[in-house]
């Protein structure tokens, strides 16, 4: 599987529950967070700023899901990435 043009394929990173000020935050609690963390699996030929394997944050409303080899990925445009870790 390979992305084309200005698209990237990402795999969501599940960090598990987080603690903030002693409170346990689950995925449901964190649903108001606008940005999701993911790892770049493939990048299109027009993408120059990021590399495969980079960890990024992207807008949770961006792109669409793709099932490939029994795994779920998300295909998004590079412009929807807001931060590279």
Rounded to an integer, what is the distance from CA 44 to the centroid of its chain?
Answer: 15
CB proximity list for 71: less than 8 A, separation 6 or greater = 11
pLDDT tens column, 22-69: 776 665 555 667 899 999 999 999 999 899 999 999 999 999 999 999
Contact (Cβ atoms closer than 8 angstroms) between residue 9 and residue 42: yes
Report the pLDDT value the prediction gives residue 21, as an integer from 0 to 100.
72
CA 55/CA 37 separation, integer angstroms = 7
Q: Provide the CATH number for the domain formed by 7-84 in this structure.
A: 2.30.33.40
Q: Which has more pLDDT, 21 or 53?
A: 53
Confidence of residue 82 (pLDDT cuts 50, 70, 90): very high
């Amino acid at each position: 599987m390979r992305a084309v043009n200005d698209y990237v394929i990402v795999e969501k990173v599940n960090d598990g529950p987080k603690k903030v000020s002693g409170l346990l935050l689950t995925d449901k609690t964190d649903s108001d967070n606008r940005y999701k963390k993911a790892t770049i699996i493939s990048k299109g030929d027009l993408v120059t700023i990021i590399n495969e394997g980079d960890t990024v944050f992207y807008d949770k409303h961006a792109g669409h899901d793709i099932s490939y080899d029994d795994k779920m990925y998300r295909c998004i445009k590079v412009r929807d990435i807001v931060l590279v870790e």
